[in-house]
Amino acid sequence: MFSLSQDEWIAIGLSLRIATVATLVSLPLGLATALLLARGRFPGKSLVDGLVHLPLVLPPVVTGFALLLLFGRRGPIGALLADMGIVVAFRWTGAVLAAAVMAFPLMVRAIRLSIENIDPRLEAAAGALGASRFWSFLLVTLPLATPGILVGAILAFAKALGEFGATITFVSNIPGETQTISAAIYSLTQTPGGDFGALRLAIIAGAIALVALVVSELLQRRAVARVSGLA
């Protein structure tokens, strides 16, 4: 039952690569966005917050279709990228983009909550001692927000690993190129006699997600203990 085929191994490896790249690429932007929403005071903040969290409430297929309109070969951004020799639609890089977009709200929310729980007086104290905003962020805010950053990254990874609707709409289900674990499970459920293969991949996907959550909890506890020791 657990003898995986080559295509299944490829789907697992591709899913891990897509989820990892999506998490790493979106983390800097996620941190900046969370900091902006947590500390920023500007007109239209609620609108920005709504746009960031929109993928959570939209059907994933709608998000995937929007990405296809924007980043497809005939889309405004996709056509520009194509002129530069960069194509993301129906490529694994497009799957990274779709996974990152769907996971981004979870990442931002976790990091934002962590930053909002930091006492602003600590940052003010650093400023009073002569530290600039950049150094206050680097030496005070960032270390204290580490637990939320870790949780946000792991949640984003888990979400990206299981993404299906936006991915299959934007980059289709191409074996070896865009067929992730979720897409492979879908294909196997549509194939006569593919139920056992789908079950194998479902168990593996569940195990990877569980490990990610356990690691997230352990890292968060360690980070909280370290921050508590510094406080």
Q: Percent of the chain having pLDDT more than 70?
A: 95
CATH number at residue 108: 1.10.3720.10
Please tell me the predicted confidence (pLDDT) of residue 74.
Answer: 86
In a domain, 54, yes or no: yes
In a domain, 188, yes or no: yes
Domain count of the chain? Answer: 1
Confirm whether 143 is domain-assigned.
yes
pLDDT, tens digit (0-9, with 9 covering 90-100), for 171-205: 998 888 889 999 999 998 888 888 888 888 999 98
Say if 1 falls within a structural domain.
no
Assess if residue 37 is contained within a domain. Answer: yes
Amino acid 227: pLDDT: 60
Torsion (CA) 201, 205, 211, 216 in degrees, nearest 10: 170
Contact 36, 116 (CB under 8 A): no
What distance in Å separates the CA atoms of residue 149 and residue 152, rounded to the nearest whole number?
5
Range of 107's domain?
Answer: 6-230
Residue 211 has a pLDDT of 87
| Per-residue pLDDT, 2 | 59
Determine the pLDDT at residue 128.
73
Instruction: Name the maximum alpha-carbon separation found in the chain.
Output: 70
Identify the pLDDT of residue 229: 59
The contacts found for 120-124 with CB under 8 angstroms, 24 or more apart, are: none
Domain-embedded: residue 129: yes
Query: Considering only CA atoms, which of 143, 162, 147, 139 is closest in space to residue 208?
Result: 162
| Ranges of residues in the chain whose predicted pLDDT is under 50 | none
